[in-house]
Amino acid sequence: MYTVHNKKGEPNDTMVCCFLIHTVCSVNALSAGSSRVLYSRVFGPEDNPETDPERRRLLQKERLLHLARRVRTAVGLCHDAAGSACVECVLGEEAVALGEAEFGVLRLSAGEPFPVERTVLWLGVQNLAFSLVCDVHENLLLAEGTLRNLARHCMEELRLLGPGSEILLKSDRIDALLHRYLPHGQLLFLNHRFTHLLDKELSAYGSK
């Protein structure tokens, strides 16, 4: 039998378990402090005690909502503390918006909402947040770089600074993006040439 845990008895997982994009502003239809999840991708198999498929899905989505609320609070607190006035960016100013983005890391204790302890990295851009939930032993430098890269692609390709709804209708582009940069939740050590080649593939995807 192999060891599943390291010597201290901690789980040794080192992967990303989900990526989501959600609101960090108030949405009329939602209660205060809630967040609207616009895109989510859980890299299965996940640790889910339910056996019935419908209930499994429900639990998964509720965990994500819980997570989005946590991040929303964190982004809000961080924003307040920084005290800087938010500059509204428009389409084409993605680089400015990303440059002003708030970044933070949060520890999720076991049970809140995942069964084991996890780390969330978040990037708050304007009224949206991009969140990456990692296992505790993940390489956070690599995770942060990946998160920023994913956010930049999403901002540009889904025109998130514009008024449209591409994020809902063209979410397959995010799937294709994750397929390359975060396949099955695996963070990749990509140098600029690997990135360039993946970017090229991705732009071929987009142009079809």
Burial label, 141 (beta-carbon count in 10 A; 0-12, 13-18, 19+): exposed
Distance CA 94, CA 83 (A): 22
What distance separates the 2 farthest-apart alpha carbons in the chain? Answer: 56
* Shortest Cβ 116–another protein spacing (Å): 11
Give the nearest distance from C-beta 104 to another protein in angstroms.
Answer: 5
Taking residue 87's Cβ as centre, other Cβ atoms within 10 Å add up to: 10
Residue 162 burial class via C-beta count within 10 angstroms: exposed 0-12, middle 13-18, buried 19 and up = exposed
Return d(Cα 163, Cα 169) in angstroms, integer: 13
CB of 41 to another protein, least distance (A): 9
Size of the site for another protein (CB under 8 A): 91
Please report, as residue ranges, which positions from 65 to 104 form the binding site for another protein (by CB under 8 A): 65, 73-74, 77-78, 80-83, 103-104
Which of 3, 9, 32, 111 forms a contact with another protein (CB under 8 A)?
A: 3
Residue 160 C-alpha from the chain's centroid: 15
Which pair of tokens denotes residue 100?
């002003």
Query: Contact 122/140 with Cβ under 8 angstroms?
Result: no
61 binds another protein (CB under 8 A): yes
| Binding test (CB under 8 A) with another protein, winner from 33, 58, 92, 115 | 58
Place of tokens 């500059």: 87
Given candidates 19, 42, 69, 110, which one binds another protein under the rule CB under 8 A?
A: 42
Q: Residue from 33, 62, 92, 95 that binds another protein (CB under 8 A)?
A: 62
Rounded-to-integer distance, Cα 62 and Cα 54, Å: 12
Q: Is residue 191 part of the contact set for another protein (CB under 8 A)?
A: yes
Considering the rule CB under 8 A, would residue 131 count as an interface residue with another protein? no
Contact map string, positions 167 to 186, toward another protein, x by CB under 8 A: xxxxxx--xx--x---xxxx
Nearer to another protein, 65 or 150 (CB): 65
Say which DSSP state 154 is in.
H
Structure tokens at 37: 């999840």
* Least Å from the CB of residue 114 to another protein: 14
Q: How far is the CB of 185 from another protein (least distance, A)?
A: 6
Q: How far is the CB of 50 from another protein (least distance, A)?
A: 8
Among 34, 93, 100, 127, binds another protein (CB under 8 A): 127
